Chains A and B, each alone.
Chain A
Amino acid sequence: MDEPLTTRTPLYSLRQLGASGIFLLRAFARMRFGATQWRELIRQVYFVGARSLVIIVTCGFFVGLVLTLQTYDTLSRFGATNTIGTVLALSLFRELSPVLTAILFAGRAGTSISAEIGLMRATEQLDALELMAIDPMERIVQPRLLAGVLAVPALSLIFSLMALLGGLFFAVYLMGISPGTFWGNMQANVELVRDFLGGLLKAAAFGFIVSWLAVFFGWYAKPTGEGVALATTQTVIASAIAVLLVDFVLSALLL
């Protein structure tokens, strides 16, 4: 059941979609929360979350800067530069933070998850765990899935925060918008539940999708160097496509 899928079989993509669904069911069928599970979850939150902080913080800041620069230029053509805070916060909370964080997360953490699990498969560590009567689904897969759901919303929030700081820096210190206008306009027009928490929900969904695809491709990687390389590539490609597709569906449903 756990041998890698070969590209030669007919209806390969459809089979893979089915396999990823069955894989998810198997991962959740034996969901248990013992002390070791919690420890492993916290460890994974560190590996996929805390270790992604550098890229999220720097990218967030620069996205905020360039977004403000471009929006400011556009708004100044309508004489509406006072609304810069609102435009910035709405586009960040509702769309940019969850999506960009998820894609950066796929590149930074998704790849490392699938390479790690692929290597475990190649070096027969997963079989060794099973021989020791430790369920690898429970010990390896579940904590990584849940860690993604926890880490991506947190990273997305930090991304928003850094981008707003970048925007504040550009709009207030370089363009001379008053900080009161910047924040006040934002507070007047951004809704807590609809805009802010809706975006957070999206981030959690993306975290789940990316870590699911990462463990799935790692789990079914061919036990060769080439196979692991392919699995990491597939993780990034599939994550990017899935995140953007689900983003559209979720946006249509939520907003």
Chain B
Amino acid sequence: MKSTNQIELTAGLFLLLGIGALIFLSLQATGGASAIGDGSYQISANFTNVGGLEEGSDVNMAGVTIGTVQRIALDDETLNAQVTLSISERYDQLPRDTSAAIYTSGLLGSQYVALQPGGLTETLADGDKILLTQSAVVLEKLISKYMFNSETEKGG
């Protein structure tokens, strides 16, 4: 039988190992680290169709992830989709006339917002709105357009 001291020491070591695993896994294996990281600011953009874009989707510029989609809601007046983008504070030099487009990674992959920088020296700040947007390409629409077009061609 081990002494009480040794037992308590081993129990403590064991729990410490568990806590160590918790910290390591939550920082290394989940997206938690970037969420706690630096601050962010919000900009919004209106799209006529967001397709399969979801809250939490990436926001890219030149292929680099600079933020996430924070909220998608229907604008009551214009009946467009109003998308709020949360951009990391490190990237606060986006030109005022930056445009946004919704693309799909791969043919059937998840959708993301791609920002295309403009040329103005003024920069976007918290609460600003992106005016130039390009909606998601809805695959079904494209296919049906193609099919019906070929139908009419055949008919005519």
Contact = CB atoms under 8 A, between A and B. Distances in A.
A89 B8 contact: no
Contacts of A195: 30
B127 interface: no
Contacts, number: 90
Contacts of A50: 10-11, 13-14
A139 interface: no
Query: Mostly helix, strand, loop or mixed at chain A's interface?
Result: helix
Interface stretch (B19-27, B73-81, B94-102, B138-146): B19-27
Interface in A4-53: 39, 42-43, 45-46, 49-50, 53
A43 B18 contact: no
Contacts of B13: 50
Contacts of B131: none
Contact of B21 (A45, A158, A186): A158
B29 interface: yes
A231 B4 CA distance: 29
B31 interface: yes
Query: Mostly helix, strand, loop or mixed at chain B's interface?
Result: helix
Given A187-B29, A192-B31, A160 B10 contact: no
A164 B43 CA distance: 37
Interface residues of A, number: 32
Interface in A49-99: 49-50, 53, 89, 93
Given A43-B11, A187-B31, A158 B26 contact: no
A158 B18 contact: yes
Contacts of A154: 14-15, 17-19, 21
B11 A49 contact: yes
Contacts of A183: 28-29
- Best-surrounded residue of B11, B17, B21, B28 (most CB of chain A within 10 A): B11
Interface string A110-151: 000000000000000000000000000000000000000011
B7 A42 contact: yes
B147 interface: no
A188 B68 CA distance: 11
Contacts of B8: 39, 42-43, 46
A178 interface: no
B64 interface: no
A56 to B, nearest CB: 10
B29 A164 contact: yes
Given A46-B10, A161-B24, A189 B31 contact: yes
Interface in B10-68: 10-15, 17-19, 21-22, 24-26, 28-35, 58, 65
B21 A160 contact: yes
21 contacts: A39-B4, A43-B7, A45-B15, A49-B14, A49-B15, A89-B29, A93-B29, A154-B21, A157-B18, A164-B25, A164-B29, A188-B31, A188-B65, A191-B30, A191-B31, A192-B35, A193-B32, A195-B30, A196-B25, A196-B30, A196-B32
Given A43-B7, A187-B34, 13 more contacts: A46-B14, A49-B14, A50-B10, A154-B17, A155-B18, A187-B30, A191-B32, A192-B30, A192-B35, A193-B32, A196-B26, A196-B32, A200-B22
